[in-house]
Amino acid sequence: MHKHSKIYIAGHRGMVGAAIWRNLERKGYQHLIGLSRKELDLKNQADVSRFFEQEKPAVVIDAAAKVGGILANNNHPYPFLMDNLIIQNNLIESSLNAGVEKFIFLGSSCIYPKLAEQPLREEALLTGSLEPTNQWYALAKIAGVKACEAIRKQYQKDYVSLMPTNLYGPFDNFDLETSHVLPAMIRKFHEAKEAGNQAVKLWGSGAPLREFLHVDDMAEAVCFAMENTFDENLYNVGTGEDLTIRSLAELVQKITGHQGEIIWDSTKPDGTPRKLMDVSRMTQAGWKAKIGLEEGITSTYQWFLANKESFKEVKM
């Protein structure tokens, strides 16, 4: 891999894509390509194919996807299945046709069965039923993993899939109606502190265990995969460590400086008891996460403070 190699990052304006772009730029890669949706509609097969024929990138990183929370997935199953299939199929097919030798496909831990043994191992793929609420998105991502695996098998090209655990960091979604647990907590505790240390109400018992990876670590993993040749087609990316939601809440409370009460609403569901990634395959390949959770949340909170004026106001 050369510093002047042409690298196309699909979805470069999203949280993950932007982190990858920053990482590669910092490492001195000089020929990064990123196009907005107006510049290139990834659902338009002819346009995507034409772009690849003209640009002929050496590397493609697929960080583009239609994403959303449980409610959005459950209420709009068709676009979460079909839009993601179309986007990734156009990128994978055009990459193959254009002779792209290195393709990195990014997915999610939701590809694994709902009741798979913990921690989640790559071998668990397709061994059981998916979580019903986000199965549509998961099915699309599984298809992408298998497409890359098929290309490796048939054409011996270096197409690899990376499946991250729960990601957080700068440019995360802090909208309380659609955000994931960690950014939602950061915003809730901050706004409760600003309102005179009001009590913060959180769903469930706080007992479930979750794993969190800073998006800059994810970007490092992508760069590592780009600069090295992997033996397998599928790798989990995470810290290999988890904590209870209750412990997470107490950590966010400490970092934000909130001094009020935390109320756990046990009438609300807890969700899956545990969701931890087995990252031994990635560790054996030579990569490990470096950003500690407290350090990562602190820097994310600082980013939130610097950008909070752009977020929609929510009444406490």
Q: Give the closest residue to 227 by CA, choosing from 14, 16, 27, 21.
A: 27
Alpha-carbon gap, residue 271 to 241, rounded angstroms: 19
Of these residues, 112, 137, 168, 301, which one is catalytic? 137
The answer to whether 137 is a known catalytic residue is yes
Active-site amino acid positions: 137
